[in-house]
Structure 1
Amino acid sequence: MLWVNLIMDTFASLALATEPPTEALLLRNPYGRNKPLISRTMMKNILGHAVYQLTLIFTLLFVGEKMFDIDCGRNAPLHAPPSEHYTIVFNTFVLLQIFNEFNARKIHGERNVFEGVFNNPIFCSIILGTLIVQVLIVHFGGKAFSCVPLTLEQWLWCIFLGLGSLLWGQLVSSVPTSWLKFLKTAGHGTQQEEIPEEELEELKDKDEIDHAEMELRRGQVLWCRSLNRIQTQV
């Protein structure tokens, strides 16, 4: 858990935070001041991937020994040596997080999660480095990480299950957010839910227009200052 929460998640945040801007950002409407931090689309992605990962991990935890024909790790005594069963669960969980980082690159329903991935060398380096460290942990971590070396077939199954998060991401993106009215937003702006929906949409649209006008006026002021400086220099 320390490896996943302290190291992997930290570098994953760094990898996603260094994504270079694209021209598609110019086509996106500005966000209003009362927009929630987590929109319904983001909530759909969070809950959708949580369902897949929890279902898969619990399946491996409770019936994984039958699937792979190995000894069960649940009934082992407290100080028993590491088991293949729990190593597969741990390895699959880590690979799910690694492949889900590609899904996290596109959170607004975009289909191609690999678009422009090679334009971010930091992201590629972190993904590759995490995979290498994970292989070293599984094969050489031993008792310190409660892992045992896995066979090639077991590794292929772990990778296959991890890659499933990419396919599941396409399925989640195919579900229109408009169908999920029961999902709640989170973050700033949720206090306005008491306002009728039609009036709330009008307020949100007004906020977006005000924000755009503010940026336009700021740009006009900068242009005027620049022209005045040029005239002064001339």
Structure 2
Amino acid sequence: RTIFKSIRKFIVFQLTMNLSAVGILIICPFIGVETPVTVLQMLWINMIMDTLGSLAFAGEFPLQDYMKEPPKKRSENILNGYMVTQILAMGTYIIGLSLAFFLCPWAKERFLYNSNPIYCLTAFFSLFIFLGIFNCYNVRTSRKNLFAGLGENTAFMIIMTGITVVQITLLYCGGSLFRTTPLRTHDFFLTLLLAVTVFPVSLLVKIIFTKIKRNNLY
């Protein structure tokens, strides 16, 4: 049961990030942003979505609550209503926030969109990756407490820390290879603050489905 739930968690995470990335790449050219992410940046995003994401969820600790659930039917769909809602809700939110980042006059002025497009695109790269990292915490548990049982999955903590370290390194040392330029400290933390907003959106979905479905949502 734990393995089945881990597979479902990974699917939610992967499809959410895929939906977000594809949506952004399709829509951005229509608002004047030809290449919101480069090929190398997309390779890094894919590595997080596929390899690192699967390893992070593979170490989930089995819970006693799982044994209280009825057996899974062989014919049961891999995607349930909660998963589809999380994918659509979070994917739509990430796309919306990303478009607002490029369209909002305040953000354009803040991140030097007109005078230094590379700086703005670096800030967006930071925002998108940390949206994915924080959404990993959302997906990991269906409980309202994001940190429930987190200490039991050492691999998850190590991988998320590793992704964060690599991402910061790319932002400040990636140079022309990754099309990045060092962000001012307050701008970097501003991208983190914007990324944290995925938590209340996911929490709202969990609250709604917890009232509908009393047992574990995965």
TM-score, normalised to structure 2, is: 0.72
Q: How many angstroms does 1:66 deviate by? A: 4.0
Choose the corresponding residue for 2:79, options 38, 51, 56: 38
Structure 2 residue 200 is the aligned partner of structure 1 residue 167 = yes
Query: Matched residues in 1 for 2:117 and 2:110: separation?
Result: 16
- Cα distance in 2 for residues equivalent to 1:60 and 1:83: 14
Is 1:118 aligned with 2:151?
yes
Contact 1:98/1:127 (CA < 8 Å) preserved in 2? Answer: yes
Rounded to whole Å, the distance in 2 between the matches of 1:9 and 1:62 is 30
Find the residue that maps to 2:197 and give its secondary structure: helix
Q: 1:67-87: CA deviations, max 9, x gaps?
A: 5434326xx9xxxx8611111
Residue 158 (structure 1) aligned to one of 191, 194, 198:
191
SS at match of 2:104: helix
Distance in 2, matches of 1:159 and 1:150, equals 12
Asked if 1 retains the 8 angstrom alpha-carbon contact of 2:101 and 2:107, the reply is no
Match of 1:200 in 2: none
Task: Identify which of structures 1 and 2 has the higher relative contact order when contacts are C-alpha pairs closer than 8 Å and 6+ apart.
Answer: 1
Change (3 A) 1:88 1:147: same
Q: Counterpart of 2:125?
A: 90
Counterpart residue type for residue 112 of structure 1: N
Of 130, 138, 141, which residue of structure 2 is paired with 1:106?
Answer: 141
Q: Which amino acid letter does the alignment assign opposite residue 38 of structure 1?
A: L
Which residue matches 1:47? 88
Asked if 1:131 is matched to 2:172, the reply is: no
Runs of at least 4 residues of structure 1 off by over 6 A?
A: none
Aligned to 1:29: 70
1:166 partner letter:
F
Alpha carbons of structure 1 residues 69 and 162: separation in structure 2 relative to 1, 3 Å = closer
5+ unaligned residues in a row in structure 2: which ranges?
1-41, 213-218
| Residue pair 2:85, 2:205 contacting (<8 A) in 1 also | yes
- TM-score, length basis structure 1: 0.67
Equivalent pairs, count? 171
Is residue 3 of structure 1 aligned with residue 44 of structure 2?
Answer: yes
Q: Is the 8 A contact 1:44 1:172 kept in 2?
A: yes
Measured in 2, the distance between the counterparts of 1:67 and 1:47 equals 27
Report which of the two structures shows the higher radius of gyration computed on alpha carbons.
1
Aligned match of 2:104 in 58, 63, 69? 63
Amino acid at match of 1:126: I
Gaps of 5+ in 1: 180-234
Q: How does 1:162-201 map to 2 (within 5 A)?
A: 162-176=195-209
Q: 1:48 to 1:67 in 2, by over 3 A?
A: same
